[in-house]
Amino acid sequence: MTEKDLASLKVQQDRLMHDIHSTCEWGKGERWGDQSTETGMSRLSLSDTDKQARDWFAETTESLGCKVTTDAMGNQFAVRPGLNEGAMTYAGSHLDTQPTGGRYDGILGVTAGVEMLRTLNDNWVETNYPTGVINWTNEEGARFPKSMVSSGVWAGDIPIADAHALKSVIPANDTATMKSDLERIGYLGSTPCSHTAMPIAAHFELHIEQGPILEAEQRRVGIVRGVQSYKWFTITVRGKESHTGATSFAHRADALLLASKCILASHRIATRHNALASTGILNLRPGSTNTVPGFVEFSLDIRSPSNETVEKVEAECRAAFASLTSDTSSEPEAAHSHPSSLTCDISWRTDFVSPATSFHKDCISCATAAAASLVDSSVPEPDAELNLGAWGKLMTSGAGHDSVYTSKHAPTCMIFAPSRDGVSHNPREFTTPEGCADGAQVLLGAVVRYDRLRGERGR
């Protein structure tokens, strides 16, 4: 396919936006505006509304001539035949959302993949090798608490027994596991979930940026070179419940007070290393106004582009947290607290480790060329500022994505569309129709260019 042929392939913005908003009827969340599309999303993985979205994906891609395979983690692989047999070049993302999420995180990537199929069919394009779209299961890790779990099983990094045994945490009294709900909604596939059973030749993922950079710099797309390193921990603090009125500060083992100091310390330490440390979950017992908490459990998320920096922040947090259990601690967070004759115990559990990821140069090259074609520009040499011109920017993703796991076994790259105000995991998450179409156009161009490259190489 020549560059002139490639230039004639245009996604249809209106059709793409119709797919986004019509599929968002399943699992609508909090309303934030007056327009019919100004609602968030609450489509948790393997819920009834997730089943509706999955059914749409299967029915739609089959109607476009694809064969759809569902594996043992519920991942859906829609494959469009090519002129030659071989592994597939995929566009992939996810249809599950956060409990208070928006309409674009993951959803844009899958619907843009479907729009890619429609555009190829509209133009009677025959690719050299099979192409397709993947809907990955439980990428968010919101309902079953391990993000990117199903692509992790596919990659061989997460045992399928562990993934199937994950218990739902939303709602709090839910007894479902991943396996039981895969069975319940009819998406426990018979195909093994593995990179050998369902090989991938290349994986391209369109996603919203989830940050403010592209919008602030007025750039149309981001070409993602890799994903930063991160670790998740659960920190448990055990003290002693006591009456708030009858127990003086000198005789308290206040688990919540210590947890608060630890969270502040994590922020201070991460700031010193130009890293990030965040707490998104905090549970305490007994949860009574007039009882000093004796038990607190909180999450800790540490991130940096560098694996070494994440390790340093973790090590310093461990030392600071241990020090803070003592009245003689020299940590800044210990200042201004009343001494006590009692102490709390603190323990750590490592929940998830995702090392820094670098994407494949061939995929980055194909995506960059596709992005340059948005403005009929030649592909520039990236400068020291990672500046591709007014239209784009080379970037590192701050968030984890399924592409982290696909990159372990297949050439991979991501494309970012601008996020208004950098907002994501929020009902007000928004990317303009033009931004969605730009991203979909780059996705289409990247996949077709990579297929052309495979044709030239004969594999």
Specify the fold of 229-354: Alpha-Beta Plaits (3.30.70)
Report pLDDT for 378.
Answer: 60
pLDDT at 376 over 80: no
- Answer whether 3-228+356-457 and 229-354 agree in fold: no
The pair of structure tokens assigned to 242 is 């006591």
The mean per-residue pLDDT over the stretch 138-144 comes to 97
Q: Residue 409's pLDDT band (boundaries 50, 70, 90)?
A: very high
Which residue type, as a one-letter code, is found at position 149?
A: V
Average pLDDT over the chain reads: 95
Q: Is the pLDDT of residue 385 over 60?
A: no
Nearest in space to 127 (alpha carbons), one of 75, 77, 86: 86
Confidence category of residue 377, pLDDT binned at 50, 70, 90: low
Residues 130, 133, 135, 136, Cα dihedral to 10°: 60
Q: What percent of the chain has pLDDT over 70?
A: 97
Lowest mean per-residue pLDDT among 109-118, 177-186, 338-347, 380-389: 380-389
User: Distance (Å, rounded) from C-alpha 15 to C-alpha 93?
Assistant: 19
Asked if the model's pLDDT at residue 332 lies above 70, the reply is yes
Summarize the confidence of residues 321-348 as an average pLDDT.
95
Q: Single out the residue of 102, 94, 137 nearest to residue 29, CA to CA.
A: 102
Tell me, what's the pLDDT at 390? 76
Q: Which of 357, 364, 373 minimizes the C-alpha distance to 438? A: 373
Backbone dihedral region for residue 415 (phi beyond 0: left; psi -120 to 50: alpha; all else: beta): beta
How many C-alpha atoms does 155 have within 13 Å on its Cβ side? 19
pTM above 0.95, yes or no: no
Structure tokens at 176: 């479902």
- Please tell me the least confidently modeled range out of 148-152, 199-203, 204-208, 325-329: 325-329
Q: How far apart are CA 433 and CA 425, in angstroms?
A: 19
Q: Is the bond leading into 171 cis (omega within 30 degrees of zero)?
A: yes
Q: What would the two tokens of residue 90 be?
A: 């995929």
Highest CATH level, class, for 3-228+356-457 = alpha beta
pLDDT confidence tier of residue 105, bands split at 50, 70 and 90: very high
Backbone CA torsion sign across 422, 268, 277, 356: positive
Residue ranges covered by each domain of the chain? 3-228+356-457, 229-354
Tokens for 354?
Answer: 């995702």
290: CB partners within 8 A, 6+ apart: 243, 244, 245
Lowest mean pLDDT among 111-120, 266-275, 316-325, 346-355: 346-355
pLDDT at 4 over 90: no
Cα R_g (the chain), whole angstroms: 24
